[in-house]
Amino acid sequence: MAIEVRIPTILRSYTGGAKSVEGSGDTLTDLLSDLDSRHAGIRGRLITDEGALHRFVNIYVNDEDVRFIGGLDAKLADGDNVTILPAVAGGSLAIWA
């Protein structure tokens, strides 16, 4: 058994073009480490250098945004579906340094 992870277009360069890949782990942190062992670099696109979930990435476990279920500590079980989506955001205020 495994966890299915759906990969957005912008990250498919890390998965050889695959729209979804399988991984394993008891928590989201474990899963992302597992994915990175086979798709080197993908973890760095999701997690900041400080070890937090990137602000403009959404990760869902089944139907839940992980920000509401423990973030990177969110618990996973075999058969779960994880979806990664790029957040869509912006605006006229120049907050981006």
Partner 1 sequence: MGNLGRVLTIDAAILEAIVAHARRDHPDEACGIVAGPIGSDQPTRHIAMDNAERSPTFYRFDSMEQLRVWREMDDRDEEPVVIYHSHTATEAYPSRTDVGIAQLPEAHYLLVSTREPDTTEIRSYRIVDGVVTEEPVRVVNAGVDQHAVQSYMFGQSPAEVDYECPAGS
List phi, psi (to 5°) of 45.
-85, -10
Answer yes or no whether residue 83 interacts with partner 1 by CB under 8 A.
yes
Name which position in 25, 31, 42, 60 contacts partner 1 (CB under 8 A). 60
93 class by beta-carbon count within 10 Å (0-12 exposed, 13-18 middle, 19+ buried): exposed
Classify residue 71 by its DSSP letter. Answer: G
Give the span between the Cα atoms of 97 and 92, in whole angstroms: 13
80 binds partner 1 (CB under 8 A): no
- Work out which of 4, 10, 24, 37 binds partner 1, going by CB under 8 A: 10
Query: Rg of the chain's alpha carbons, rounded to an integer?
Result: 13
Provide the minimum distance between the beta carbon of 87 and partner 1 in the complex, in angstroms, as a whole number: 7
Choices 8-16, 22-30, 36-44, 69-77; region in contact with partner 1 by CB under 8 A:
8-16
Nearer to partner 1, 19 or 37 (CB): 19
